[in-house]
Amino acid sequence: MSLIVACRSGKDTATSKEPIRHRTAGHLLRHYERNRFSFDWVGMKIDAESITMGETQGFKATLRMRRDSAIWVSISPALGIEVFRILLTPDSLKLISKVPDNKYYYVGRFDVLSDMLGTEIDFDMLQNLLVGNALGLDKDEGRFRSEEDDQLHLLISRYKRRVRRVVGVDDRKLEDDTIVVNPNDPRYQRTIRRLEEGDDLIVSRYWLDPERYRLVKSVFNDLVAQRSLEVRYDAFEKNGEQFYPTDIRLKVSNPQITREMHLDVTKLVTDKTFEFTFEIPEDFVRKDSL
């Protein structure tokens, strides 16, 4: 089965618009860094929708974050009665289920969340994702090339030689922003066998708006695991002198399953501190896995 990942921005652009001016990767990285969302504390109210293989579930969430320290989430259905409470730290995940007839608590490592979401994610990545900051976008301009796509700036990670062998196309000649990988191709199989432990084959792409250099879309193609992560930010509002996304869309795909999540941020505050209350009722049973 081939992995086909389309990496279009999805923005409708009037044909009468003048093409945006080309900017170097270094220019884009510097301006993005100046405009990334900075915070110590964040509180959010979220209307969320989760879609897995065509099945949709809606819920509301209250979310609180302290930078580099904790993420606290209270989840409730439309009636507003809390059914889950989650506390995340850089190395732990704690969860309380208050669902009738299924009351329990769980304490484990943070990386359990990667298994639940179907994609690798760490604490720092999750915090950045929720406020519209780029995942894994370092300041080394030599690792990226830039071009223009549908009135947006596009940063593309430069392929290593072994990635070119797997993809079959030079990153400088890539057409239609599409990656197709056939795992039965001998080139793919040879490259995978030669990988050392900890190596990966990930192609990263970032779309930035030309006015404020805000991140509007990211796509990550993991050619080893044959999975992709797409993050889109479709609307922004101002908080002080900064902008944060109010419409966040995630899509995780692999050959077996596709999961999507839509987060509508209805309220955001950064000018107060928060408590992360997490008390486990005595009569709740502990689960060893989720």
CA pair distance 153, 225, nearest whole angstrom: 28
Report pLDDT for 208.
Answer: 97
Report pLDDT for 163.
Answer: 65
What are the beta bridge partners of residue 203?
A: 221
As a three-state string, the secondary structure of 111-130 is CHHHHHHCCCCCHHHHHHHH
pTM of the model: 0.84
CA pair distance 181, 222, nearest whole angstrom: 10
CA pair distance 106, 101, nearest whole angstrom: 16
Report pLDDT for 140.
Answer: 80
250, with CB counted inside 10 A (0-12, 13-18, 19+), is middle
C-beta of residue 5 within 8 angstroms of C-beta of residue 177: no
Fold of the 20-278 domain: outer membrane lipoprotein receptor (LolB), chain A (2.50.20)
CA pair distance 156, 5, nearest whole angstrom: 14
CA pair distance 166, 222, nearest whole angstrom: 12
CA pair distance 170, 158, nearest whole angstrom: 9
**Position 198 pLDDT exceeds 70:** no
> What is the pLDDT confidence band of residue 110, given thresholds at 50, 70 and 90?
very high
Lowest-confidence region among 13-17, 93-97, 112-116: 13-17
C-beta of residue 19 within 8 angstroms of C-beta of residue 147: no
